[in-house]
Amino acid sequence: MTKLAYNLGENAITIFADGQVHTVRKDNLNFMQVRQALLDGEYDKVIKLVDTKSAVEDYTLGNIQIKDGDVYYNHAGGESEKLHGVVVDKLLSLMREGIKDPSPLFNFIERLLDNPSHHSVEQLYNFLNYKELPIDPDGYVIGYKGVRDDYKDKYSGTYENFVGKILEMKRRSVDDDPNVGCSYGFHVGSFDYADSWANHDGRLMVVRFDPKDAVSVPNDCEYQKLRVCKYEVIGEITDGRKEWTKPVYNDEDYDYDSDWDEEYYEDEDDAEGWNDELSADSLAIRNYIENRHAEGIKPTVKQVQSRMKGVSLSSQDIIGIAEDLGFNVEYIDGKQGSRSEISE
């Protein structure tokens, strides 16, 4: 293609092509890609990037298409489903952030469409529309929950919310009426709602839930809380109280208070040794692991580390203490690391 005439500005790019003027503003999902393609002289690529329809279809490998201004998701079976604006916003966020793999979005859509209640799905859109909540690679939505200082729920004081805990009840036991504020069901909130609910004397937990397990969104709190029949506690941010803002979070990205997002260690010599002065920590670790095992859960090294507030322990420290206590730290891909599970 012949060279394009263009003007590169700090907040917008103006392109002259085929007798038309195209303006790409800084908030456009393809702004940086268009800029780089122009600088590299890849003019055919520029035209495709300016065309949002083509950009979306290329990014999603044709699984999402734009027809007459509406956005559709193509199921594997060949059926098409019109997507709500909230889902489209999530798609654009992934593209804007340069996330190359669209599979988390596909997983989210599939789970969303597996929800047995159309009414519940429509309410979930209200909740997701308040603030764009992150998703994980499996398509689960990440939200927040304020609990008591002892990790039990504030309403009944009976449900424990330790990291790694999965809480579940029958779907029919959850109140599906959005006109009822406080009622039966597990509650998940936006960061703002959960933070205020935790208050200064409680704990702020990060949870994830399957969109198919969403039941109702009460109208009384500006759609900031949601009732679900199942959720999993994946982290705690009581000390930092910092909202997760990336569109997709992997397990390695989980931002816990203790700030120990570590990769697998490659060599035992790279880790600091642990010593006999950790007896009190050893007791706390042993009690936590035994309690998890009593519940039928094998905690990961990362989850144990999350429990040790105010104590600086590396993954190697935790692994060493656990093995010294007689537990088995499992290997993943031939290595022990933060995601290794601890068994009896």
The alpha carbon dihedral of 151, 153, 159, 164 has a sign of negative
Asked if pLDDT for residue 278 goes beyond 70, the answer is: no
Distances (CA, A) of 332 to 23, 87, 264: 49, 34, 9
**Residue 24: strand, helix, or coil:** strand
Residue type, 185: G
Contact 23, 36 (CB under 8 A): no
Residue 137 tokens read as 């690679």
- Residues 130 and 118: their CA atoms lie apart, in Å, by 19
Nearest to 1 by CA among 43, 50, 54, 36: 43
Question: 């040794």: which residue's tokens?
Answer: 273
Stated as kind and residue range, the H or E segment containing 112 is helix 103-113
How remote is the C-alpha of 232 from its chain's centroid?
12
pLDDT tens, 11-26? 888 888 777 788 888 7
Phi, psi of 206 (to 5 degrees): -105, 130
Question: 């654009």: which residue's tokens?
Answer: 92
User: CB atoms < 10 A from the CB of 285, how many?
Assistant: 26
- Residues 68 and 130: their CA atoms lie apart, in Å, by 27
pLDDT tens, 317-344? 888 888 888 889 888 777 777 788 899 8
Sheet holding 5-8, edge to edge: 5-8, 12-17, 20-25
- Residues 285 and 313: their CA atoms lie apart, in Å, by 11
- Residues 336 and 332: their CA atoms lie apart, in Å, by 6
pLDDT tens, 174-220? 999 999 888 889 999 999 999 999 988 999 999 999 999 999 999 88
At CA 61, angle to CA 59 and CA 63, rounded to 5? 105
Q: Would you list the domain boundaries of the chain?
A: 1-50, 60-113, 118-253, 268-343
Task: Report strand pairing: 230-236 vs 166-168.
Answer: antiparallel
Residue 32 tokens read as 């940086």
| Weakest-pLDDT range from 10-19, 32-41, 150-159, 273-282 | 273-282
Asked if pLDDT for residue 240 goes beyond 90, the answer is: no
Question: Cβ neighbours of residue 296 under 8 Å, at least 6 residues apart?
Answer: none
| Weakest-pLDDT range from 158-167, 240-249, 250-259, 305-314 | 250-259
What is the value of pTM for the model shown?
0.65
- Residues 103 and 91: their CA atoms lie apart, in Å, by 11
- Per-residue burial over 70-104, b if 16 or more Cβ lie within 10 Å, else e, is ebbbeeeeeeebebbebbeebbbbbbeeebeebeb
The alpha carbon dihedral of 258, 263, 264, 269 has a sign of negative
- Residues 344 and 329: their CA atoms lie apart, in Å, by 9
